[in-house]
């Protein structure tokens, strides 16, 4: 079977479809770290972590903030089902900065009933959103 020339990328969050495009390459925040996908990739199913997803169309890269869900990889397509997904230009930077500050404060002043893992995840989400948003500012 010949290697396909590109990959059909489908990204869907809990409330909408964000991407349905032919792409050349995808990088996904997988369960065991970041995973690069090129056309012809071996079939794979993985869980997603909090992080930055990017995909390339020719020389141009597009960035999204992703949090949890699943990725199904086939030689000619990648389907992302994410709990949370935002494109770089949709991220409210001020809101992400506030979320980061709140999470950092919670983690530096723990209480007896504090859910440390929840605070850690909130911090990771805020950091991923800020990293993706900074990518949009650099390109503009």
Q: Where are the domains of the chain?
A: 7-88, 91-139
d(C-alpha 128, C-alpha 135), whole Å: 11
Q: What is the pTM of this model?
A: 0.84
Fold equal for 7-88 and 91-139: no
**Average pLDDT rounded to a whole number, residues 35-60:** 96
Residue that is written with structure tokens 């530096």 in the block: 108
CATH for the stretch 7-88: 2.60.15.10
**Average pLDDT rounded to a whole number, residues 31-44:** 95
d(C-alpha 36, C-alpha 26), whole Å: 6
Which pLDDT does position 140 carry in this prediction? 46
Quick check: 95 pLDDT over 50?
A: yes
**Average pLDDT rounded to a whole number, residues 27-56:** 95
H or E segment to which residue 52 belongs: strand 51-57
DSSP bridge partners of 77: 8, 74
Query: What is the DSSP secondary structure assignment for residue 106, as one 8-state letter?
Result: H
**Average pLDDT rounded to a whole number, residues 93-115:** 84
Tokens found for residue 33: 């770290």
Taking each helix axis from N to C end, the angle separating 116-139 and 93-108, rounded to the nearest 10 degrees, works out to: 150
Closest by Cα among 70, 60, 58 to 28? 70
Quick check: 86 pLDDT over 80?
A: yes
**Average pLDDT rounded to a whole number, residues 90-102:** 90
Options 1.20.5.440, 1.10.10.60, 3.30.200.20, 2.60.120.10; CATH for 91-139 is 1.20.5.440
Quick check: 113 pLDDT over 90?
A: no
Which pLDDT does position 70 carry in this prediction? 97
**Average pLDDT rounded to a whole number, residues 15-29:** 96
């Amino acid at each position: 079977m010949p290697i396909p020339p590109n990959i059909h990328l489908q990204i869907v969050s809990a409330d909408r479809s964000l991407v349905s495009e032919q792409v050349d390459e995808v990088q996904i925040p997988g369960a065991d770290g970041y995973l690069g996908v090129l056309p012809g990739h071996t079939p794979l199913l993985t869980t997603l972590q909090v992080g930055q997803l990017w995909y390339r169309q020719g020389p141009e890269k597009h960035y999204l903030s992703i949090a949890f869900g699943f990725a199904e990889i086939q030689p000619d397509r990648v389907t992302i089902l994410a709990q949370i997904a935002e494109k770089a230009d949709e991220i409210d930077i001020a809101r992400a900065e506030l979320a980061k500050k709140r999470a950092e404060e919670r983690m530096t002043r723990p209480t007896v009933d504090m859910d440390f893992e929840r605070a850690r995840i909130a911090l990771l989400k805020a950091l991923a959103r800020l990293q993706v948003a900074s990518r949009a500012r650099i390109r503009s």
